[in-house]
Amino acid sequence: MKRGAFNTLAFLSFATVLVSSCGNSGNGYLTGVEGRKNWYQEDPYGMVYIPMGSFNMGPSDQDATFGVTSQSKTVSMPAYYMDQTEITNNEYRQFVNWVRDSIARRIIGEENEDFLLTTDEYGNDYPSPYLNWEEDFRYDDEDYREALEVMYLPENERFYGRKEFDTRKFLYEYWWIDYQAAAKRGNRPQGLKDRSVFIRRETTHIYPDTLAWVHDFTYSYNEPLTNMYFWHPGYDDYPVVGVSWKQARAFCIWRTNLRNGFLYTENESYEQNYRLPTESEWEYAARGGLDLSPYPWGGPYIRNNVGCFLGNFKPLRGNYIDDGGLTTLRADSYNPNNYGLFCMAGNVAEWTSNAYDESAYNFMHDNSPDYVYEAKPDDPIALKRKVIRGGSWKDVAYFLQTSSRTYEYQDTAKCYIGFRCVISYIGRDKNDEAE
């Protein structure tokens, strides 16, 4: 071996030993930030995984209504998780109780600082706002009792003298970032450095409109559902209704803070935000991998091979009970589609995040299509339309098709519209060796 070659080999060996002995220094080499934890995506509780893929978004059958609001378009979708069922009354009640108890803590905190919440730099509250109303409050304490009176209906509004919460005061304050505005040319950090202008603050009344069962229909006796549907344990597993688009979005933001607040206490990395699905995400999930099928269960028919209906809708010109239901049913009724999602057709229609435009398919991108518009209070009513999908217990079969799209106004609440959440998958695809 030549002497020069020997010296080179010796130098490389020395360098290798030196680098390996330098720990985090990397000996000046680019090694990336060391000491970071390994992270794996945990399947969110109550959600199912939707793999990335492409599909033909749009009609799989004739346009029976001649609405001409969609066209067949090949699009590609990233991976995400979606709630296995529509959000139920009991799940939404967890949100309502959180808001109620937070209000109570602020009121009592003026008398006793032990009840006050501490908010960290990430907006998480400590301790948990939830209260045990039988144990945490001393009702024999006149100061507590008097302070909490503002949370209840005034005496002149009580029915048979019942002391009930005034749910009109259940207001949830939240913030969100307007990425669309921030991304506009001229608004980026190079031109506008104060990011606070893109942080939107909103306050939303969060209790469901239980009167929707009455005001949505004329000359129909639905008072029993107004009286019991949201709060009675017999309806715990039924989909929540009477929730507006803004209330549904507020729930998603609260759910994100609930989860990430827990992760923060465990010193774990945050997860993606819970949110309403885009209509492309909704349709892709509803199809369950059956690209050309007009219904989530596959095939062109709404009955199985023994003649039973496969969803909860309005069959046979008003014979509501022929499918097994009269109005809503449990959120896990009927068989799930191939992704494991229940009631993607029928039961209740579902809010999506998208604004409704008849020509949206013509200008939306083919990579994870999305169209949003944040309507202002004084905007024309047409700009407040949001896409709903899936059809409901009061709709005919056409609206159960995976490609059928219609709308409702974002500030309205209906007894036939609910919602479910999605959360984006962090990474390319689950169990993908390329990651």
What is the model's pLDDT at position 6?
Answer: 42
Report the C-alpha gap between 424 and 355 in whole angstroms: 20
Q: Which residue has the higher pLDDT, 183 or 421?
A: 421
**Helix, strand, or coil (residue 226):** helix
What is the model's pLDDT at position 23?
Answer: 52
Residue 261 pLDDT > 90: no
Residue 317 pLDDT > 90: no
Residue 252 CA, chain-centre distance (Å), reads: 5
What is the model's pLDDT at position 180?
Answer: 85
In this prediction the pTM is: 0.89
Residue 309 pLDDT > 90: yes
Q: Tell me the two tokens of residue 316.
A: 């046979």
What is the model's pLDDT at position 14?
Answer: 43
Report the C-alpha gap between 398 and 357 in whole angstroms: 19
> Highest mean pLDDT: which of 5-9, 14-18, 100-104, 327-331?
327-331
Reported as a single tens digit per residue, the pLDDT across 325-340 is 999 999 999 999 999 9
Q: Rounded to 5 degrees, what angle do the CA atoms 132, 138, 140 make?
A: 140
What is the model's pLDDT at position 113?
Answer: 67
Mean pLDDT of the chain: 86
Q: Which residue has the higher pLDDT, 158 or 428?
A: 158
Residue with tokens 């509780």: 45
H or E stretch covering 64: none
Percent of all residues in the chain with a pLDDT value above 90, rounded to a whole number: 60
Reported as a single tens digit per residue, the pLDDT across 125-153 is 655 677 766 665 555 567 777 888 899 99
Report the C-alpha gap between 356 and 69 in whole angstroms: 10
Phi and psi torsions of 301, nearest 5°: -115, 155
> Which value, in Å, is the radius of gyration of the alpha carbons in the chain?
27
Which candidate, 15, 17, 10, places its Cα nearest to that of 1? 10
Q: Tell me the two tokens of residue 139.
A: 């009702």
Residues 6 or more apart whose CB falls under 8 angstroms from that of 41 comprise 425, 426, 427, 430
**Helix, strand, or coil (residue 93):** helix
User: In the chain, what are the domains?
Assistant: 49-87+250-435 (3.90.1580.10)
